[in-house]
Amino acid sequence: MSKRVIISGGGTGGHIYPAIAIASALQQKHPDLEVLFVGALGKMEMEKVPRAGYNIVGLPIVGIKRALSLSNLAFPFKLADSLLKAKKVIKDFKPDVAVGVGGFASGPLLMMASFAGIPTLIQEQNSYAGITNKLLSKKASTICVAYPGMESFFAKEKIRLLGNPVRSDIVDVSSKRKEALLHFGLNEGRKTLFVMGGSLGARSINESIEAGLGQLVDAGYQVLWQTGKTYIDTAQATIAGLRTDQVKAFDFIYTMDLAYAIADVVVSRAGALSVSELCLAAKPSVLVPYPAASEDHQTKNALTLVEQDAAIMVKDSKARQDLVAAALELLNDIAKQEDLKTNIRKLARPTAADDIAEEVLKLIR
Tens of pLDDT along 106-138? Answer: 999 999 999 999 999 999 988 888 888 898 999
- Residue 127 sits at φ, ψ, to 5 deg, of -80, -10
pLDDT digits (tens, 9 = 90+) for 256-308: 999 999 999 999 999 888 999 999 999 999 999 999 877 788 999 999 999 99
The pLDDT assigned to 1 comes to 66
Mark residue 155 as left, alpha or beta (left: phi above 0; alpha: psi -120 to 50; beta: remaining): beta
Binding-site residues for UDP-N-acetyl-alpha-D-glucosamine sit at 12-14, 126, 167, 199, 253, 272-277, 298
Binding-site residues sit at 12-14, 126, 167, 199, 253, 272-277, 298
The pLDDT assigned to 239 comes to 96
First to last CA, the chain: 14
User: pTM, whole model, 2 decimals?
Assistant: 0.82
Task: Let me know: does 340 contact 310? Beta carbons within 8 Å.
Answer: yes
Nearest C-alpha neighbor of 123 from the set 133, 109, 113: 133
Residue environment code for 336-348, b if the CB has 16+ CB neighbours within 10 A, otherwise e: bbeebeebbeebb
Nearest C-alpha neighbor of 161 from the set 149, 173, 177: 149
- How many C-beta atoms surround the C-beta of residue 218 within 10 A? 11
Quick one: pLDDT band at residue 62, thresholds 50, 70, 90?
A: confident
Helix (H) or strand (E) segment spanning residue 248 = strand 247-250
Same fold, 4-164+350-364 and 169-345: yes
Q: In what order do the strands lie in the sheet with 222-226?
A: 247-250, 222-226, 192-196, 265-268, 285-287, 312-313
Residues 10, 45: Cα–Cα separation, whole Å = 6
The answer, yes or no, to whether residue 103 has pLDDT greater than 80, is no
Determine the Cα angle at 267 with ends 303 and 173, to 5°. 100
> CATH class for domain 4-164+350-364?
alpha beta
CA 114 to chain centre: 26
Radius of gyration of the chain (CA): 21
pLDDT digits (tens, 9 = 90+) for 227-266: 999 999 999 999 999 999 999 999 999 899 999 999 999 9
Distances in whole angstroms, Cα of residue 241 to Cα of each of 5, 165, 324: 51, 40, 19
Mean pLDDT of the residues in the chain: 91
- DSSP structure class, residue 251: S
Q: What percent of the chain has pLDDT over 70?
A: 95
169-345 topology per CATH: Rossmann fold (3.40.50)
The DSSP result for 252-299, as a single string, is --S-HHHHHHH-SEEEE---HHHHHHHHHHT--EEE---TTSGGGHHH
The pLDDT assigned to 200 comes to 63
What are the boundaries of each domain within the chain? 4-164+350-364, 169-345
- Three-class SS state of 122: strand
Quick one: pLDDT band at residue 198, thresholds 50, 70, 90?
A: low
